[in-house]
């Protein structure tokens, strides 16, 4: 079975909680057939139930997911709300029509999937599963129900200093994690920073991301959104990935604290000149520590630009208590990092999480006879989807999805004037530098 480590238990051998009511004192003759597990019921419905089959045919269901209304759309995709039929969790289904993708778009899509597969961080949208039909590809993603940062600022205006710190710290945490495993996002912008209802940041849209063998590899593809593009991209040079993401974070930070973009122009040519000349002014009312951070990031020469670690240590972010994952950013996944950690308290917690997931899988009707610590890795398996959703639930229960806090934070009751950046949402572009 795809996914390997977990299997659907045959009805006879089922020992899940659903069969615990069976008493050993009852003779085999008195026993009716054991109750179906949720998984058995669902798979039976998918084969025999008329309504379920019709839903599958018309696209109201795909794999184990019920498909509901549209929540967004991108250049090549429509994003719909989905529900897992077994765990009942909400997910975002990014739907791509394969027949409308040219070879370049297909290449980017497969890169997006493979890069997302290796990302597991509380501030990065998690890829749960990939479902493929003859004409469509469905990326089953962690759902972020709080909208995107661009819409938030366009509607409510610039963020307060503390709100900016909390959001920026999470973006930084995600980028630090990605860069540590050599993944470059290349399309950071407010539209791609999603928020959950509890204010947790989820960096999304890995359509232009790339994984390099080491951080000194030079890249030559211009991608991203022009107002967020670093000067070296406009100079048609080969460029290093990490400083380009850092520059985009500087533009994002400027946008968060002022509600306006640092580089604005009516034409791409004029924008290019502004960016190359590094012509921007930070309003004087922006707090000094934040101004210093912006100026340290938005430097024309990538070699002089702040590195992610310098940003982490800056004065402005000093009062921020980072999410717990910051403790072990160099490791490939928070869960794995905890497992590999020599700190026994963390290893113990990981054991508990694994145990919770195992027992939930059994309750649903998956057998866990195979290696107890086996973690399904194949994204095109329904078992992987359930496993990752349950793991995500268990980690959420442990507060892994909570935003950081600012120590000694004082809520500012004075709402600063709305200077919303009402411009068009930024469209990302891709072209190969000559």
Residues with a known catalytic role: 187
The dihedrals phi and psi of 393, each to the nearest 5 degrees, come to -60, -45
Contacts of 142 (CB under 8 A, 6+ apart): 91, 92, 125, 126, 127, 128, 202, 392
Calpha distance 299→276 (Å, rounded): 10
CB of 343 to ligand ATP, least distance (A): 32
Nearer to ligand ATP (CB atom), residue 46 or residue 101 = 101
Using CB under 6 A, pick the residue from 64, 83, 128, 143 that binds ligand ATP.
143
Distance CA 111, CA 133 (A): 19
Question: What is the 8-class DSSP label of residue 406?
Answer: E
Residue with tokens 């795909």, as numbered in its chain? 62
Classify residue 180 by burial, with Cβ atoms within 10 Å: 0-12, 13-18, 19+.
middle
Between 113 and 217, name the residue whose CB sits nearer to ligand ATP.
Answer: 113
Which residue do the tokens 């000694």 mark? Answer: 408
Which 3 state secondary structure label does DSSP give 432? Answer: strand
- Between 79 and 184, name the residue whose CB sits nearer to ligand ATP: 79
Quote the Cα angle for 383-389-395, to 5°.
135
User: Does residue 205 belong to the site contacting ligand ATP (CB under 6 A)?
Assistant: yes
Residue 317 touching ligand ATP (CB under 6 A): no
From 72-80, 347-355, 368-376, 413-421, give the range in contact with ligand ATP by CB under 6 A: 72-80
Asked if residue 176 belongs to a known ligand binding site, the reply is no
> Measured between alpha carbons, how far apart are the two ends of the chain, in Å?
46
Of 125 and 338, CB closest to ligand ATP: 125
Spatial separation of the C-alpha atoms in residues 23 and 41, rounded to whole Å: 22
Q: How far is the CB of 395 from ligand ATP (least distance, A)?
A: 17
- Name which position in 207, 334, 385, 404 contacts ligand ATP (CB under 6 A): 207
Which residues have C-beta within 8 Å of that of residue 111, sequence separation ≥ 6? 209, 210
Which positions from 326 through 345 interact with ligand ATP, judged by CB under 6 A?
A: none
- Region binding ligand ATP by CB under 6 A among candidate stretches 127-135, 138-146, 266-274, 412-420: 138-146
Q: Name the segment binding ligand ATP (CB under 6 A); options: 24-32, 53-61, 143-151, 177-185.
A: 143-151
For ligand ATP, which is the closer residue by CB, 90 or 380? 90
Number of chain positions touching ligand ATP (CB under 6 A): 22
**Rule CB under 6 A: is residue 105 a binding residue for ligand ATP?**
no
Q: Which stretch binds ligand ATP (CB under 6 A): 21-29, 69-77, 291-299, 307-315?
A: 69-77
Q: Report how far residue 152's alpha carbon sits from residue 359's, in angstroms, rounded to the nearest whole number.
A: 39
Candidates 204, 230, 256, 391; binder of ligand ATP (CB under 6 A) is 204
DSSP 94-156: EEEEGGG--HHHHHHHHHHHHHHHT---TTBPPEEEEEE-SSEEEEEEE--TT-BHHHHHHHH
* CB of residue 71 to ligand ATP, shortest distance in Å: 5
DSSP 191: G
Does residue 76 belong to the site contacting ligand ATP (CB under 6 A)? yes
Q: 344-364 and 382-397 are packed helices; what angle lies between their axes, rounded to 10 degrees?
A: 130
User: If binding is defined by CB under 6 A, does position 108 make contact with ligand ATP?
Assistant: no
Applying CB under 6 A, the span of 31-39, 58-66, 75-83, 275-283 interacting with ligand ATP comes to 75-83
Cα separation of 189 and 224, whole Å? 8
Task: Identify the residue among 141, 153, 271, 394 touching ligand ATP (CB under 6 A).
Answer: 141
Point out the annotated binding site for ATP. Answer: 94
Contacting positions for ligand ATP (CB under 6 A)? 71-77, 79, 92, 94, 125, 141-144, 148, 191, 194, 204-205, 207, 428
Point out the annotated binding site. Answer: 94
């Amino acid at each position: 079975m795809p996914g390997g480590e977990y299997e659907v238990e045959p009805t006879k051998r089922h020992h899940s909680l659903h069969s615990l009511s069976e008493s050993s004192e009852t003779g085999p003759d008195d026993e009716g057939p054991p109750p179906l597990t949720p998984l058995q019921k669902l798979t039976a419905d998918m084969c025999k139930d008329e309504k379920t089959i019709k839903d599958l045919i018309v696209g109201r269901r795909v794999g184990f997911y019920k498909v509901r209304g549209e929540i967004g759309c991108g250049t090549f995709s429509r994003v719909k709300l989905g529900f897992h039929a077994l765990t009942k969790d909400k997910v975002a289904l990014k739907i791509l029509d394969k027949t409308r993708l040219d070879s370049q778009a297909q290449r980017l899509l497969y890169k997006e999937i493979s890069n997302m597969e290796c990302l597991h961080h509380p501030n990065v949208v998690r890829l749960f599963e990939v479902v493929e039909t003859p004409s469509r590809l469905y990326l089953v993603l962690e759902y972020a129900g709080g909208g995107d940062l661009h819409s938030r600022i366009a509607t409510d205006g610039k963020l307060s200093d503390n709100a900016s710190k909390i959001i920026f710290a999470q973006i930084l945490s995600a980028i630090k994690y990605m860069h540590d495993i050599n993944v470059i996002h290349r399309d950071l912008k407010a539209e791609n920073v999603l928020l959950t209802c509890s204010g947790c940041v989820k960096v999304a849209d890995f359509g232009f991301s790339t994984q390099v063998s080491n951080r000194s590899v030079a890249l030559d593809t211009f991608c991203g959104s022009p107002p967020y593009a670093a000067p070296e991209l406009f100079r048609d040079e080969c460029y290093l990935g990490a400083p380009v993401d850092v520059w985009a974070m500087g533009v994002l930070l400027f946008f968060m604290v002022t509600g306006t973009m640092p580089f604005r122009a009516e034409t791409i040519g004029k924008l290019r000149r502004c960016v190359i000349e590094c012509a921007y002014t930070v309003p004087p009312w922006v707090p000094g520590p934040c101004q210093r951070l912006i100026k340290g990031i938005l430097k024309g020469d990538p070699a002089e630009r702040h590195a992610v670690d310098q940003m982490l240590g800056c004065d402005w972010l000093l009062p921020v208590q980072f999410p717990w994952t910051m403790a072990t950013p160099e490791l490939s996944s928070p869960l794995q990092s905890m497992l590999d950690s020599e700190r026994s308290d963390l290893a113990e917690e990981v054991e508990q999480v694994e145990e919770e997931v195992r027992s939930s899988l059994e309750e649903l009707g998956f057998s866990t006879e195979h290696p107890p610590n086996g973690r399904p890795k194949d994204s095109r398996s329904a078992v992987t989807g359930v496993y990752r959703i349950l793991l995500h639930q268990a980690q959420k229960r442990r507060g892994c999805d909570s935003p950081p806090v600012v120590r000694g934070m004082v809520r500012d009751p004075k709402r600063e004037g709305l200077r919303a950046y009402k411009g068009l949402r930024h469209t990302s572009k891709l072209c190969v530098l000559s």
